């Protein structure tokens, strides 16, 4: 496919210096966890080559190719199709792998070995490769061959047992938090391996799994069990230890309030006109307030529901009491601080037109983040990528005839 003027301009823009310029990444990922890891490389300047099968049909887990989810996950990349099951497709992959710095994949643990594109396969032609893998449950062990998805790992990793209101049964988190966490952790691990390679010249295989990522994210609830043998339960909107911390009604909605320390609780009581609460013996300590959580929350709610959210937010802000509104997604992006942070970033695409996608949440002084390349169509950069490793037009046509691309 000939490059359009827009694509040439995007390619020129991609040469603007960013921290990962000069790093070549081969993207074998699918669904969400893997692409989340790749997106960090793509957003910060790496030359990411997305490799897909030639005949991808139907919808990815991320939805339609030109839909909001897929477009958000796969910007700042070039794209090629390769049938890794054919000798020609596999040979082309290995030529690309020989020149790459990083390969990222999240296939079922045994698939990459069956396709002969595993870390050991690639290391034979490129000892410096950093190879990153996400699986459901680990690369080996009793569950090593199982397929895993976000909600399964949320359940097995304990998260669903502590999410939601008491007595309502297990509840998943409203975002694919495990996919996202595993992707973020894999990107971090691969960056560390690249840093080590600068000193040693040695590549590494970096792995994580949805299960490991979810257990890691249990954080203090996990250590609560490991050190104290306490099994956490569901607490709804109530913070397990900070009282009062939670959701409180207002005359036009709800707000979050966090006044858990004795110092902040003192300011809170004074701000809402209830200094008498500070004289109650059973509310003077955090332990005492924790025991009487329901009564405290009910008493606060009777007061906060008399005035609108903005009234309380302004009052609490003036008095140094952490608080905030509870937004719907549209309200999030209308908030002036979110606008200031630039969390919606522009992308101009010949496929979806002018659009906005979610910006990187990382800021690095001296560098400007943004979308340098729109999300490519399948195989959009086929010829230029294959020619970069020595293929001719005739070779490419022969590969097409053989179903390798």
How far apart CA 100 and CA 129 sit, in angstroms, is 7
How far apart CA 37 and CA 209 sit, in angstroms, is 12
How far apart CA 285 and CA 265 sit, in angstroms, is 10
**What are the residues whose beta carbons fall under 8 Å from the beta carbon of 328, sequence distance 6 or more?**
none
List 248's β-bridge partners, or say none.
Answer: 255
Q: Which member of 7, 27, 150, 179 is catalytic?
A: 179
From 74, 65, 51, select the one nearest 347 (Cα to Cα): 74
Under 8 Å between Cβ of 91 and 100:
no
Token output for 260: 């858990």
Place of tokens 């079922």: 108
| SS3 at position 57 | coil
Q: Report strand pairing: 24-27 vs 47-52.
A: parallel
How far apart CA 354 and CA 7 sit, in angstroms, is 14
How far apart CA 113 and CA 210 sit, in angstroms, is 20
Alpha-carbon separation of residue 82 from 2, 58, 91, 400 (angstroms): 19, 18, 10, 10
Place of tokens 């990815």: 60
The answer to whether 7 is a known catalytic residue is no
| SS3 at position 371 | coil
| Active-site amino acid positions | 179
């Amino acid at each position: 496919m000939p490059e359009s003027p827009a694509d040439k301009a995007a390619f020129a823009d991609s040469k603007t210096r960013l921290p990962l310029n000069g790093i070549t990444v081969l993207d074998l990922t699918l669904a969400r966890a893997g692409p989340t890891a790749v997106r960090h490389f793509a957003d910060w300047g790496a030359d990411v080559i997305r490799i897909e099968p030639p005949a991808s049909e139907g919808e990815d887990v991320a939805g339609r190719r030109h839909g909001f989810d897929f477009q958000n996950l796969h910007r700042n990349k070039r794209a090629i199709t390769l049938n890794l099951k054919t000798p020609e497709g596999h040979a082309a992959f290995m030529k690309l792998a020989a020149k790459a710095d990083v390969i990222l994949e999240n296939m079922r643990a045994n698939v990459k070995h069956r396709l002969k594109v595993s870390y050991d396969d690639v290391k034979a032609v490129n000892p410096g490769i950093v190879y990153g893998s996400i699986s459901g449950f680990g690369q080996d062990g009793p569950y090593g061959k199982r397929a895993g998805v976000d909600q399964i790992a949320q359940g097995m990793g304990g998260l669903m047992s502590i999410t939601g209101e008491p007595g309502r049964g297990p509840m998943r988190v409203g975002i694919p938090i495990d996919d996202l966490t595993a992707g973020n952790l894999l990107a971090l691990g691969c960056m560390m391996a690249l840093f080590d390679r600068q000193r040693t010249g040695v590549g590494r295989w970096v792995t994580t799994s949805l299960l490991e990522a979810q257990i890691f994210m249990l954080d203090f609830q996990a250590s609560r069990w490991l050190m104290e043998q306490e099994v956490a339960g569901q607490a709804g909107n109530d913070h397990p230890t900070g009282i009062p911390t939670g959701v409180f009604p207002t005359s036009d909605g709800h707000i979050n309030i966090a006044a858990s320390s004795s110092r902040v609780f003192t300011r809170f009581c004074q701000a809402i006109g209830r200094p008498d609460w500070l004289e109650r013996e059973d509310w003077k300590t955090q332990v005492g307030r924790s025991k009487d959580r329901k009564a405290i929350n009910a008493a606060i709610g009777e007061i906060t529901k008399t005035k609108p959210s903005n009234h309380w937010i302004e009052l609490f802000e003036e008095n140094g009491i952490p608080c905030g509104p509870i937004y719907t997604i549209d309200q999030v992006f209308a908030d002036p601080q979110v606008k200031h942070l630039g969390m919606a970033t522009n992308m101009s695409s010949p496929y979806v037109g002018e659009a906005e996608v979610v910006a990187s949440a990382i800021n690095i002084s001296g560098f400007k983040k943004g979308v340098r390349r729109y999300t490519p169509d399948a195989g959009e950069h086929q010829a230029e990528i294959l020619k970069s490793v020595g293929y001719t037009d005739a070779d490419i046509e022969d590969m097409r005839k053989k179903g390798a691309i």
